[in-house]
Structure 1
Amino acid sequence: MTDLDVEQHKTAVIDIPEAVGVFDTFEDLQKAFYDLRMVGIHHSDISLLADEKTLMEKLGKAYWRSSDLEDDPQAPRAHFVSEEAIGELEGAIAGGFFFVGSFIAMAAMLTPASTLAASIAAIAIGGSPAAVIGTLLARRVGKHHKDYYAHQIEHGGILLWVRVRDKEREELAVKIMQGHSGHDVHVHSWST
């Protein structure tokens, strides 16, 4: 291993406690996330385990268990993305493709000689294929999101880390995580 490789694998650990827990369902994780946000924990203090590709790149592990990574400072992190945000992204992708296809068709037909019927037909003909492409891409985004959580559940559960800056928030985070079926909930004295 070269000096550059060693340098790339260093992880900064800070002296701020962090609560960690494992969730068996996305629904329980989402409820815990929303309650943590409701009590004032900032979204940047909440993280999840990164996706499989990132795990392979950073840790080189093809097989892992959540319990092996919950206290590992090298475990790569990701931000929580809600179902609502994924739904909005899917809608934006599908709608954006429809809009672009329709706009191009409409622009091509909006000449002084074109009729309203021809313009409407051009919008339908141009927008429909684009909407189909947008819908397929949107479904792919949604499937990737679901696969991300399903894969973590297969490996022992979805890991959630919460940086807690004081004893009060520490107790609150643990209580919320346990209240939403989080298991193996505990606090370590550092965070990344």
Structure 2
Amino acid sequence: MKEQGHWEWSNETGPRGNLREAVALFDTEENMQAAVDDLESHGFSNAAISRPVPPEEVAAAIHQPVFDTADLEDNAGVPREPVDDNNSRTGITMVAVLTPLYLLLLAGAAFAAGHGLGTWEAIVLIVGLGALGVVGAGFYVTKLVSERRARIQAEKSLGGLLLWVRTGSQEQERRALEILRRHAGRDVHLHGPPLLQ
């Protein structure tokens, strides 16, 4: 992404200062994720792609209830977060499962060694603690998945999944708009300061 000083628009501010962005709403998470993957494969940094935080956090930040996601498209006061793609979610899930499993196995082995347990006693203890770790991790992952589904459903019920893409040139604008439309983006448009003449 180009530095701001080299961007192709004036210093007149738009909704988010001297930033131009492509904006779109999506009806499904699959279409939104496909658009994000396509954007990244065409040179857009993950840091240039953002989403609003959960609706309840948005409402608290802008001090009014959210009735329609479309009302947030050009609102600079809406707090944002990076898009968590499939790879990052998979990584988080793996860490959530393996970390407690590893720690409990390690604790079991240390306890067995420190207390002089026999081989079979040590095995039973370690396997039991490992199973406990897997159950705990499974509960945590299930909770995360449930919360994510509830959030996506809440956003859909408010009108769609909102995505912003920061652009640094007219060519990036053209490409971003084309990609967002290709993946069934709705209300696709640009906002920000005017282009330099």
User: Normalised by the size of structure 1, how large is the TM-score?
Assistant: 0.86
AA matched with 2:30: E
CA contact (8 A) 1:97 1:130 kept: yes
Q: Structure 1 stretches of 5 or more lacking a match?
A: 1-11
Match of 1:188 among 188, 191, 196: 191
AA matched with 1:80: V
CA RMSD of aligned residues (A): 1.7
CA distance in 2, matches of 1:90, 1:97: 12
Look up the match of 2:118.
115
Match of 1:140 among 121, 143, 154: 143
CA contact (8 A) 1:90 1:139 kept: no
CA contact (8 A) 1:47 1:160 kept: yes
How many Å apart are 1:184 and its aligned residue? 0.5
Match of 1:56 among 55, 59, 67: 59
Q: Structure 2 stretches of 5 or more lacking a match?
A: 1-14
1:46-87 CA-partner distances (Å, limit 9, x unpaired): 111111232122012333211111111112211100133223
AA matched with 2:43: G
AA matched with 1:99: Y
Look up the match of 1:9.
none
CA contact (8 A) 2:55 2:66 kept: no
Look up the match of 1:4.
none
How many correspondences in the alignment? Answer: 179
Look up the match of 1:35.
38
CA distance in 2, matches of 1:77, 1:112: 51
The answer to which of 15-24 and 84-93 deviates more is: 84-93
1:103-125 CA-partner distances (Å, limit 9, x unpaired): 11111112584332222111112
CA distance in 1, matches of 2:61, 2:38: 31
Match of 2:153 among 146, 150, 154: 150
CA 76–39 in structure 1, closer or farther in 2 if over 3 Å, else same: same
Moved over 6 A (4+): none
User: Normalised by the size of structure 2, how large is the TM-score?
Assistant: 0.84
